Structure 1
Amino acid sequence: MNRLEAVFKKKGITVFAKINHKAGADKIKAKLAPTQVIIFGTPKIGTPLMQSDQHIGIDLPLKVLVWKNQKGGVSIAYNDPKYLAGRHHITNRDKVFANMAGALNKLTDAAVKKPMPTPVKK
């Protein structure tokens, strides 16, 4: 889960908050796999979207749900930025939403994939 936050920070994306759902479950003595919501973004992208329609502010900054799945791996879920465009009827920022979707896919993929070992030269 920390890998995604590290990927965001490396790319200059602000992590505004983390919500630890497991900690909440622990307080009521309920079982829950490690589960967090990471709230992140950049005003450089979010502000122009809000200039198009401030209603999108309910969905900004973006959020990613990260949890330890039943196989012991990490799963990630988020709302596709193109879905948010439709939800808020923003039609004048298609390229921005497409770029956001592509970047989010790459960032989350980078966080869940194990790094390839560096080949040893003999």
Structure 2
Amino acid sequence: MLNVAFKSLLLALFLTSSAMVAKAADTDLVKVPSPHSVKQTADNLVAAVEKAGAKVFARVDHAAGGKSVDMEIPANQVVIFGNPKLGTPVIRDAPEAGLDLPIRVAIIETDNGTILVYHAPASLAAAHGLPADHPSIGKMTGALKNLTAKASE
């Protein structure tokens, strides 16, 4: 009987911790709706990034990639961009953060319309052991909020 109770307790702890991890992952993604197509939203984001003085490093069209192998997915593009003034201090303080920088914003066609999706910079800080109040993380947060808002205007 004690063995059954112990197994039940372990299962409950596992399910609770799994739910907490899933919840944390959900809050790490920021989703911004856009009234425009994926292409137009991505074009708007590129223009906003360039106007802000940051650099667009790449634009990946996942739907086109799928088509190249005879597979269809809804429109889905990723814009990869950054500003060395913000990213370099993060990489200096946590070199492995280079895995997550430059910033990536996915623009995705969903059943409910186009959305921009990105990882909250605070999750980048947490993942790489940076303090939540790291100066670049706060600036990245504000920049992403402003840039994605402009892309969805």
Sort the TM-score into its range (normalised by shorter chain): 0.7 to 0.9
Please say if residues 18 and 37 of structure 1, whose CA atoms lie closer than 8 Å, have aligned partners that are also in contact: yes
Task: Please tell me the residue identity of whatever aligns with 2:101.
Answer: L
Superposed CA RMSD: 1.5
Of the three residues 52, 55, 58, the one matched with 2:99 is: 58
Deviation at 1:89, TM superposition (A): 0.2
Q: What are the ranges of 5 or more consecutive residues in structure 1 without an aligned counterpart?
A: 114-122
Deviation at 1:7, TM superposition (A): 0.8
Deviation at 1:105, TM superposition (A): 0.9
Task: Please tell me the residue identity of whatever aligns with 1:62.
Answer: I
Deviation at 1:93, TM superposition (A): 5.3
Task: Please tell me the residue identity of whatever aligns with 1:24.
Answer: G
Of the three residues 69, 80, 84, the one matched with 1:39 is: 80
Count of residues paired in the alignment: 112
Q: Which residue of 1 aligns with 2:46?
A: 5
Task: Please tell me the residue identity of whatever aligns with 2:127.
Answer: R
Of the three residues 62, 80, 85, the one matched with 1:21 is: 62
Q: Which residue of 2 aligns with 1:108?
A: 148
Task: Please tell me the residue identity of whatever aligns with 1:104.
Answer: L
- TM-score relative to the length of structure 1: 0.84
Choose 1 or 2 for highest CA Rg: 2
SS, match of residue 78 in structure 1: strand
Partners of 1:27 and 1:7 in 2: how far apart?
29
Identity among equivalent positions (%) equals 34
- TM-score relative to the length of structure 2: 0.68
Bigger proportion of residues as helix: 2
Partners of 1:8 and 1:92 in 2: how far apart?
24
Q: What are the ranges of 5 or more consecutive residues in structure 2 without an aligned counterpart?
A: 1-41
Please say if residues 49 and 93 of structure 1, whose CA atoms lie closer than 8 Å, have aligned partners that are also in contact: no
Partners of 1:67 and 1:18 in 2: how far apart?
13
Task: Please tell me the residue identity of whatever aligns with 2:95.
Answer: Q
